[in-house]
Amino acid sequence: MSGLPPYASFTQKLWHYAFRVICGVVFFFLIAPIIVIIPLSFNAEDFFTFTPEMLALDPDGYSLKHYNDFFTNPDWQQAMWNSIRIAPMATLLSVSFGTLAAIGLSQPHVPFRRAIMAMLISPMIVPLIISAAGMYFFYSRIGLQGSYWGVVLAHAALGIPFVIITVTATLVGFDRSLTRAAANLGANPVTTFAKVQMPLILPGVISGGLFAFITSFDEVVVVLFVGSAGQKTLPWQMFTGLREQISPTILAVATILVTVSVVLLATIEILRRRSERLRGMSPG
């Protein structure tokens, strides 16, 4: 595939290039919708398409007014602060419980490992609408519906599978003789964990945390049901905006979020490489 042999027939050549064109089209389909909103968000008009001025690259066709709206409109600001208040708390909960459990699960002898694993992974499998429905019913019974902690707990539950998966994956390559060596040299279990085990699995913990963070930060279905107007998050505000009166501010918000996800993606990729290097699984 990588190269075409010199003896390739005409049909082979034709297919070779046709295939690349097909793949190019699919890549275009994947990436274009995300790229296209970036220039559109700088539109000087309230339109959702390229104006003739924009196509002519006239500076008057572009403006920052939609960004300005995002940073001054109280609705959007409130939503942004709610997201910033909810996501880190949910992440903190999922990471602390999740890491502990992942360490427990990677011990050689865990009773009912399969059943426990299935239960802990289930928030990722069950469709969000069903989780949202169940949480809505149950949280309104116990008075958590419509409260900050209700949303945080719900989001923490949704983030846990990601932490479990990434941390257990890091622990697969963990050399257990290191903890034994530490214990042999007189470290107590807490010191062993803090000084030996934790630094080695930290990349996995952080990337699990980032997954949990993005899950909560992006999540809209559950917060729509479990939250009340006081917990309106950024995705919720976008959802309302898209459903009712779609305003171009959404495109500015979308562009900001794309930037955030590019940064997160890069961080995770760097962490993954670092973790593999630490565990000696790849030459780096």
Partner 1 sequence: MTAIDSPVLTADGTPLKASLRRALRREKARAFLLVAPLLLFVLLTFIAPIADMLFRSVENGIVHDTIPRTVQALRNWEPEESGAPGDDVFEAFYTDMVFAVERKSHTRLGSRLNYERTGLASLFRKSGRRVGKFDTKDYADAFKALDPAWEDPATWDVLAGSEAASLPRTASAHATWLEAVQADGSDPLEEEPWDVLYAALYADLMQAPAGGFGNPLLNDAQSAAAQLEPVSLSEQFGAIDEDWLDPEVWRTIQTYAARYTPGYFLNSVDLKLTAGGVQYRDEGDRIYILLFGRTLYMSLVITISCILLGYPVAFLLANLPLRTANILMILVLLPFWTSLLVRTSSWKVLLQQQGVINDILVALRIVDDASRLILINNQTGTIIAMTHILLPFMILPLYSVMKTIPPTYVRAAKSLGATDWTAFWRVYFPNSVPGIGAGSVLVFILAIGYYITPELVGGTRGVFISNRIAYHISSSLNWGLAAALGTILLFAVLILYWTYDRIVGIDNVKLGG
Contact positions with partner 1 (CB under 8 A) in 167-206: 169
Among 4, 64, 198, 262, binds partner 1 (CB under 8 A): 262
Among 118, 178, 185, 270, binds partner 1 (CB under 8 A): 118
Under the binding rule (CB under 8 A), the answer on residue 246 touching partner 1 is yes
Nearest to 267 by CA among 208, 223, 216, 185: 208
Which range in 58-66, 73-81, 180-188, 209-217 contacts partner 1 by CB under 8 A?
A: 209-217
Under the binding rule (CB under 8 A), the answer on residue 212 touching partner 1 is no
Under the binding rule (CB under 8 A), the answer on residue 252 touching partner 1 is no
Side chain identity, residue 97 = F
Under the binding rule (CB under 8 A), the answer on residue 49 touching partner 1 is yes
Under the binding rule (CB under 8 A), the answer on residue 69 touching partner 1 is no
Under the binding rule (CB under 8 A), the answer on residue 37 touching partner 1 is yes
Which range in 27-35, 70-78, 177-185, 195-203 contacts partner 1 by CB under 8 A?
A: 27-35
Which range in 60-68, 98-106, 175-183, 194-202 contacts partner 1 by CB under 8 A?
A: 98-106
Angle between helices 234-243 and 74-105 in degrees, nearest 10: 130
Which range in 63-71, 155-163, 180-188, 195-203 contacts partner 1 by CB under 8 A?
A: 155-163
Under the binding rule (CB under 8 A), the answer on residue 5 touching partner 1 is no
